[in-house]
Structures are given as C-alpha cells and as structure tokens.
Structure 1
C-alpha cells in the first residue's frame, strides 16, 4: 500500500499567536486535549507528567480514534468549526460537543516543540510527528508531518495519544496544583468520564462535587436566592427571572479557611467546559470574604449558537465587552448580584456560627450582654462583635478572648481602658483585642518562657559534664554566665575573688589580712544575703580529704575575718565523682550541720530543672484554671 502524506496548511503567525503564545501554561493546553477526548466519546483520559530526566507529558484516551483521512480532513485542519461543518452539536454518544474553533491542536506547541500523535480506530493504527522547528522552516505555508505508522493493523483498542517533548520548562511539574486546576476546568466528570493523573488514585478526577470538608456554607442558584430577590427592586427580580429562564444553575460556597488564590472566585462553564476563569465579579474585591469564596455556574445558553461565539479564544473569559450583547450584560449583572448577596449571607451566617461555637465553650454572648446594665451593654456588644466578626480569630481563640473580657468586665479600670480604645477606633484590631485579654496570664507566660530557655541551658551544661570539660576554661565561665545553675535565687556573682578583695569590697573590713593570698573559684550571694563559697572540681576527679579541708578553711576564714557574716556563709564543694577515700564520706556528713555541702553536678542540674519545671507548671495551672472556668 502506497503511503500517503499528512498535510497542514497554515500561517506561521497563526501558529505563534494561537498556539505558542496563547497556550503558554500547561493547564489550558491539557484542557484542550481533555476536551478532544470528550468529543471522541472517551470514558477515560490518562495523563502522565514525567519529571525524571527530560521532562515530557503524555495524554491518551480511549475514545473512538481517527482514520488517516480523518486526521487530514478534520484534526489537522486549522480553524475548522466542527458544529457548523457537521451540522450537529452532539457526538455519536449523545454528548454536547465542546470543540468549536478548531485551534486546540495548536495548544501543544505552547508547551513543547515536538509532538508525537498516535491514534487507533477499528484495528488500524496511524502515528505521526509534528516538529515546530521544521514547521517554521517549511516553504509555502504547507507543512507535512513525519508519518511513523501508516494504516498498520493492530490489536490495540481505539483511542488517541499525544506525546509532548522538548519542553521549555526546567522546574518539576507541580502535580497537586495541576490536578486542582484541571478539576476546576470542566463540569463533565463522572464515573463515565474519568481523568487519571500519573496513575495515582488521589489525583483521579471523577466528580464535579466540591469536597464537603472544603465548605463552610453553600448557596445554590436559583433555590437559595429566590427570597433575596423577592425583597429587591423590579430590576433585580428581572435578573433572577432571566437566570431561571436561561437555565443558569450553580452554587457559591465559602471555606472554613482562606482558599488558595488559584481557586478563589467564580468560574463559569458552558456545555461542561470552562469559559470564564476564576473572577471575583466585584471591582472592589478587597474584603476578606473573597479569600474564602469560590463557586461555579453552568451557563450553557451563551454557547448554544453555531455561529455566534461569546468565548475568548483561550477560553479564559467570556467576551464581556461585545457591543449590544444584552444577554451577556444581564448574566454579568446577575453573577455580581449573587456574589453580593452571598457576601452578606456569609457575614451573617459566619457570625451566628462563631457565636454558637463560642457558646459551646461556656460563653453565651447574648445572654451575658443581656445581663449587663444598659450603660454597659453598648461597649460590651462592640467588644464581642470586634472579636466574633474578625475573620482572623478562630472560634477557640475567640472563646478565650470573650471569657477574659467577661471575667475582667467588673473592673472599672478595664472598662475605662476599653472605652479609650473605643474612642481611638482600635477595637477591630486583633492586637488590641489580645492586649485586653492577656492580663491574667502575662506574668505566668513570662515565667514559662524563662523556664523553657533555662531548660535548654541545663541540657547544654549536662553535655559539658558528660564530656569532663575543664572546670576553669569551661565550667567556671558557663556558671559565671548562668549563676542560677548554682542557686535559683542567686542575684550577685563574682569569680576568683581574693581574700583581700573579698574583705575590702564586700564586708568593708579594714583588719590586717594574712599574707597568703589564696584564691576562691566563686563567691556569690543570693537574694537572701547568704554567702556561697563555691569550689569547683573537674567532674571526674576523685574527692579526697584535702579538697574537703580546703572548702572548710575558706568558710572559716571568711567568718573569722568578718564576724557580721557569722551563720550566713555556706560552703559548696562540687564535683561529679562521689567516690571518697576512707574516712572522707563520714566526715562529709558531719559538715552539713555546719553549712558545708559536697554536691555533684548532677545534683545541681536536678535542682535547677525541678525549680524551672515548677515555673512552667505555674503557667499550666493558671491556664488550666482558666479553661476550667470556661467549661462551667
């Protein structure tokens, strides 16, 4: 059988403007191929994004496929209006045809420069390659794709596949985002038309339904808006009737939390295909509402004509600026009005929902305000409204804030302070609200922060002990920086003080000193005025009677030279090896009655940790009491 040629007649400017430049992002290009699969009565579309190595995209379907002549006469014919040419707007399977402009095949050149297309129909397979660089260089505006398979018999099932390579992108495909975007581009998904992405079930698209966990409120048109239009002017009643007559159907929904920007706003579908990307339909869309709002409407009537085309070429928006198109103008006004009504409903319902959740924490806002005297109610109402209507404050936090305000409302100083804030019009500011509600816990929180920081310091000190760090170069310097490790109440600290300096600066004693000028590791005082004489030893040094006698001499010297310190001097010998030579341990126990202690570094760390744990527990206790109060 003689191999025939495929042929594309084109204008390179058409390819560039309606392919390369118009479809410069992946989602609309993929949407064109999904649309082709729908029109081919496919039940499944398989999309594979390959990130490893050279990036490629494969899109295949199980539709009816195409013969060689159909490729030439239909698929490769640019600008073919299928509905006009076939005099029908339904497929053989009874689906409404989505294709209209005959430009979808150009979309692939906006993403990749080489396209391999393979199609099977009735056991016959045809495969060919379109190369953008070759297309640009051909003469006479006639391009002949390279035929790979010409009418080959095959056992493969009907269907068409597109293999796109030589992509310009370098970064990996964001599969999550592509899935989300593709899901919002059609209203044709069902168990009879499923899109599979990378053979991953979580990215399978088989439904147009909005996941329930994404929605807080949903309003459907027309049923949930009819009463709102009944109370409006004749103009708006006319818009409502227009929507019903034209078969407009859809919904606006809001989420619990702000939505991703790429799904905020209203999308419009005609015949199940996107004709208007996400839009707020509001020129002043700076309200928080628009961060939470999304929705979709089916407006099939705008694309029912074989001849009139209300859609932009890239299907991103309707041609709203078409002169004297009264139907498009009315549709736009209708959607604007629905968004405005939904915005009002959202505020009312969100406020009621937040009040209900706050009440479940034990704070019935309305009942509490009702119990106040008439002079107090306006400010209390404004305070609670500022909290409940603030979209940035979650329900549980709002309950805490209102609980605090309720508890503190009996204090005149608190009411005076809030009144001053009210005059400054600051009550809608979350920082001002937080300032009002933190009085009860601020001190405890500060203690808790200190405790958390100290625990980290304790952990670092433990590492020094475990590695047998030098007492002079490491341990002394560390304790000088953090004296509370020695005593949680330590307030003053001096390092390696001589007896002379000790007596002159600390005890103001002019007595004659012995000539010896022995050095101490530490001499510290705590907040009670008790002097601590501290002698440090390297953690793994074995203690002998010599070390014990040395600390005793230090304490005795100070008490002898400065009688006013009698009973207020304590000695500490610190190491981490508690193995004593014979007789030393018995001698040690007797010294504790005289205020001389031998401790391990482990003892110090345990005491410091216990004290700081108590600080943190203080904060937890206050928080628990606060929570218990809110449960009543």
Structure 2
C-alpha cells in the first residue's frame, strides 16, 4: 500500500518522455498550459515571474487550490479527462474547463528539469518537487514519487497554487516582451476583474494582460478594415445558409486587414475553443487554395467552442497547433462554411479598398494647385481626366515606394501634358478659339489633328515652328473635314446642284477638287441644311475665305521656304474658319 504522505505520479515514468518532453519545446506554449490551469481553478489573479538571472519561472494563482489527495488524483494522474469528472466540463464556479487530456503539466519537462508545485486549500499547504532526471531513471515497474516538501502543513495563507520551474533547459529564455505577446496570442479570457494575469521579471518589468491583450496581440499595428462576425453580416446571414449555420452554432470572430502586406508570421487566422488557442495562425486555415493576395493583408480569429465540447472525442491536436478538420463530416462542413465566410470578406475587402483608393485619388488630385486648375479647366477633356486618374491610381498603389514629394512632382508634370493645361497656358493661347473642339462622333483622323494642334501650341521658344505646325495642321484639318463632308453627302450635294455629276462621281473626284472650291461647297451645303444665320451669309463666308487668301497662305507653308504667314494672319484665318468647321462636324 502506498504511504498516505507520499505523492505519486500515476503513470509509467518512461511515458513522461514521450507524452511531455516532446510536446512543447518553447517556453510560451508550456506556460500557457499553466495559465489555463489557473483559469480552470477559478483563479481571478495570476502572477508570472521570470528571473532571467536565476533562470527560474514562477506561476502563482489565487484559485481553489488542491488538497494532498487532489494533487495525487488530479494533478499527478496523467491522461485523466477532468471534464468527465466535473459538472459537464465546468469548474466549481461555472467556467468552461480548458484542460482535457491531463498532459499539460508534463509539457513543462520540455523546458526544464525540476518542477516545484505548491498548493494551499482550506488552511493546508502541500508541495512537492518533480525531477525529470530521477523520473527517467525510475523503472516502469515502479512508481515515481516526487520529493515531498509539505504534507498537510497548517497555514493561514489563502487558497491558491504556485508552480516554480527550475533548471531551465531552453538555451535562451524568451525575452519578456516577446513572451507577453506570445501568451497574449494563445488565450482570450484575460480580464481585469475576472482573470488578470500579471507578468513581471527581475528587472522590474511589469505587464498586465487584460481584456485587450488577445486582440492587440494579433491586430496589425495599423488596421485598415475590421470585419466582425456575425454583427457585420446580418443581411448576408439571412440569404446564406452557410453563414446562418455558423451563427446558429454561436461562432464568432474578427478579421483585421492592414493597409500594406503583413509580416508572414502575422498572416492568417487562428481558432480558439473555450478561450484557448486550438489552431495556430494559418492562411490556409479554412481553404487549402488560399492564394489570393488578400491573405497577405489579413489576420484574425474565430471562437468555436463546440469543437472542444465533446467529452470523449478530441478534435484538437495535442500540441494545439491544428484542428483535425477531416475527422468528421460535421467538421469538414464547418470548415467549408468558414471558407465561404472568408470568401465573402475577401469580396467586401476588395470593394472597400477600391472605394477608398478612388477617394484617395480624388483627394490627391485636388490637393495640388497645378492639377486642380487642370481639373477645373473649361478645356478639360475626358482623356485628360483619365490620364490624371490613372497616374494617381498607380502612385497610390500600396505597394508603391514612391515618396509623397516624388508623387507630387510626377502629378504636376503629368498635368502639364494634358490638353487642358496646354490650351490654358500656351503663349499662343489666343490663336485657337476657346470653343473649338471636335466631338467624339467625328472620325479619329480629324480628332487626332485637333490633338496635334493643342500639343504643338505649347512650344513657347520657337515662333517659326509654332506657325509652321499650326498652319500645316489647320491645312490638313480643313482638307480632311471638307472632303469628309462632301464624300459622305455627295448624293444630296448633287441633288442640290452644289456638286455637278462629274465632281460627285466618287471619292477620288472629290479629292481632286481644289481646297477653296471644296470649302465653298461645304459652306453652300451648310446654308442648304439651315446651319447658317441667313442665305446671304454663305457668300460673305466664301468672300472672307478669298479675301484672307486662306489657300495661298496655307500653301506657302508647304511650298515656300522663305515666306511665312504672320501670327495675326493665322489668327484671322482661324477665327473665320472655326464657326463653319464646328457646324461641319455636325454633319459627320
């Protein structure tokens, strides 16, 4: 019979190596097992103290504590499913118990050789020390008895349990701030009033883990969007059975996205059950083909308690790194439903980002005076607007490394290449009438000639080049427009006796008509179509054309390398031709 004063590890000593040491090799994972034990013991305060000099760690709580018998039956009895021995898996105070397999305490031997356990309950103190080296040397046909330190010793101390981890075997103890962050990520029941965990070290560091700890540990440093289930999806839940099923099973969660891609270690989603991490962060948590760029921006979690509610079957891996999704049809369906929820979030995220980018583009464009003037110019064309918006879209891409100053310079340079800027800022602005524009219904050649005119009108340093380009382009525009109108309407022109049969025979015969005569026919046709103010104005218009020697001046530019029309002459020609060209465009 065992000595009643003894502590006994109720398992083959060799099993400790297989079940415990190999379970966790990192400090945070091992410590979280102790924190959740404190939760299961109804503790409201827990203190974790790390002494980096002495290489010891103490975890102390103010929970229910354990008697000598309870230490033997509950703590030292390995693989005991405590949920089957409690009120439907609840603690004495009604908390959902997180422990299940009874292996967590063995995990401590993955990071240390000696563990001291001290528990006080009902004014009795009991404590012992487990030594991994002694456990290893204990034959399987014998029981291992931890070293008794206190057995039912009277005390006035309050109930609670403390575990001291000595002789750490990890080469480097996790830095305190990293440790706090890792503990925060693995549990979501911290609370100032109900379960406050305080982490301290031997250099006076102190950090309280409360309600904000978990979310703050997984959220990006800058959050662009947050999607909360089920709160943000009530309308979708009404339409989608998959989402409806998730809500009916009390599944909740949040997805956070950053404005730029997150570090790889921060990407993906985790699953919590009863507040405890059940599955590590993973981008493929709910979809094996998660290759959408959304996943590099997103992080989040989902609370799925029912996964861990089964008192007999276990669907969470022992190291709590993953969920056995393929274990049952129910879990496979659950994963599929969660995948559909994520797909919906992806669509929302893309729409939100597109809308935000459009707004940023608008704000950026209107924040620069030079660009703003172009956007508000009466000469702004649709191609101008598209050029500026597309340029801004590229510059506002979150993958762009271009500085704000460089973006400003690029946009200002781009604005100077717009038609509106060229027309508004040309030295020869007064040459081209402000109301002259070519509608989109007119052929592409005529519209292109107009664009070339605007482009050429900004050469401020070379007057001869300007006169040459504008004169030649005007000659081409006049030639093309008159020919296009006569060719398109030649049958009607013949019936009106404006064209004779030989002239209107085909396209080539029209091309052979001299420019002055073609312009005359165009004006007569405009009069016949009621486009002129009165019937006599056609003769005035034709007379002006001849008086200004339009053909002669424009032909000089092509044939005479000595003589140039003056700016004044070119201006008079433009003013004379512009109203009739605009009316001609209406006939095309």
TM-score by length of 1: 0.58
- 1:56–1:164 Cα contact (<8 Å) kept: yes
Displacement of 1:284 = 4.9
Of residues 290, 309, 313, the one that matches 1:308 is 313
- 1:228–1:341 Cα contact (<8 Å) kept: no
Of residues 272, 277, 281, the one that matches 1:278 is 281
Cα separation, partners in 2 of 1:238 and 1:163, compared to 1, 3 Å: same
Distance 1:201 1:57 in 2: 14
Displacement of 1:118 = 0.8
How many residues end up aligned between the 2 structures? 403
- 1:189–1:206 Cα contact (<8 Å) kept: yes
Deviations 1:9-30 (A, max 9, x none): 3235532232111111112211
Displacement of 1:126 = 0.9
Stretches (4+) displaced over 2 A:
9-14, 85-88, 169-173, 199-203, 208-216, 225-231, 255-264, 281-292, 334-394, 397-400, 402-413
Q: Which residue of 2 aligns with 1:19?
A: 20
Deviations 1:510-542 (A, max 9, x none): xxxxxxxxxxxxxxxxxxxxxxxxxxxxxxxxx
Displacement of 1:291 = 3.7
Q: Which residue of 2 aligns with 1:522?
A: none
Displacement of 1:58 = 1.3
Cα separation, partners in 2 of 1:216 and 1:111, compared to 1, 3 Å: same
Distance 1:13 1:260 in 2: 41
* 2:301 is aligned with 1:296: yes
Of residues 399, 402, 410, the one that matches 2:416 is 410
- 1:351–1:389 Cα contact (<8 Å) kept: no
Displacement of 1:73 = 1.1
Q: Which residue of 2 aligns with 1:33?
A: 34
Q: Which residue of 2 aligns with 1:126?
A: 126
Q: Which residue of 2 aligns with 1:348?
A: 351
Distance 1:202 1:260 in 2: 27
Q: Which residue of 1 aligns with 2:80?
A: 80
Deviations 1:537-588 (A, max 9, x none): xxxxxxxxxxxxxxxxxxxxxxxxxxxxxxxxxxxxxxxxxxxxxxxxxxxx
Distance 2:154 2:303 in 1: 42
Q: Secondary structure at the match of 1:204?
A: strand
- 1:363–1:402 Cα contact (<8 Å) kept: no
Distance 1:348 1:402 in 2: 27
- 2:118–2:163 Cα contact (<8 Å) kept: yes
Of residues 199, 207, 210, the one that matches 1:206 is 210
Of residues 193, 196, 202, the one that matches 1:194 is 196
Deviations 1:182-233 (A, max 9, x none): 11212211121011111677621111463496422111112323445677xx
- 1:3–1:150 Cα contact (<8 Å) kept: no
- Please list, as runs of the form range in 1=range in 2, the aligned pairs for 1:41-52 lying within 5 A after superposition: 41-52=42-53
- 1:363–1:403 Cα contact (<8 Å) kept: no
Q: Secondary structure at the match of 2:319?
A: coil
Distance 1:385 1:241 in 2: 38
Distance 2:375 2:398 in 1: 19
Specify the structure having the higher radius of gyration (Cα).
Answer: 2
Displacement of 1:392 = 4.5
Distance 1:220 1:115 in 2: 42
Displacement of 1:299 = 0.7
- 1:51–1:173 Cα contact (<8 Å) kept: no
Structure 2 unmatched runs, 5+? 422-588
Q: Which residue of 1 aligns with 2:323?
A: 318
Distance 2:30 2:70 in 1: 22
Q: Secondary structure at the match of 1:203?
A: strand
- Please list, as runs of the form range in 1=range in 2, the aligned pairs for 1:435-584 lying within 5 A after superposition: none
Q: Which residue of 1 aligns with 2:567?
A: none
Distance 2:138 2:183 in 1: 35
TM-score by length of 2: 0.63
Distance 1:16 1:274 in 2: 24
Q: Which residue of 1 aligns with 2:156?
A: 155
- 1:19–1:108 Cα contact (<8 Å) kept: yes
- 1:5–1:147 Cα contact (<8 Å) kept: yes
Displacement of 1:36 = 0.6
Deviations 1:362-394 (A, max 9, x none): 637998779753345555444332232333558
Of residues 325, 329, 334, the one that matches 1:331 is 334
Deviations 1:410-455 (A, max 9, x none): 3389x9xxxxxxxxxxxxxxxxxxxxxxxxxxxxxxxxxxxxxxxx
Q: Which residue of 2 aligns with 1:224?
A: 232
Q: Secondary structure at the match of 2:43?
A: coil
Cα separation, partners in 2 of 1:142 and 1:369, compared to 1, 3 Å: farther
Aligned alpha-carbon RMSD (Å): 3.0
Displacement of 1:66 = 0.4
- Please list, as runs of the form range in 1=range in 2, the aligned pairs for 1:606-625 lying within 5 A after superposition: none
Of residues 246, 254, 257, the one that matches 2:257 is 254
Q: Secondary structure at the match of 1:8?
A: coil
* 2:101 is aligned with 1:96: no
Distance 1:173 1:146 in 2: 29
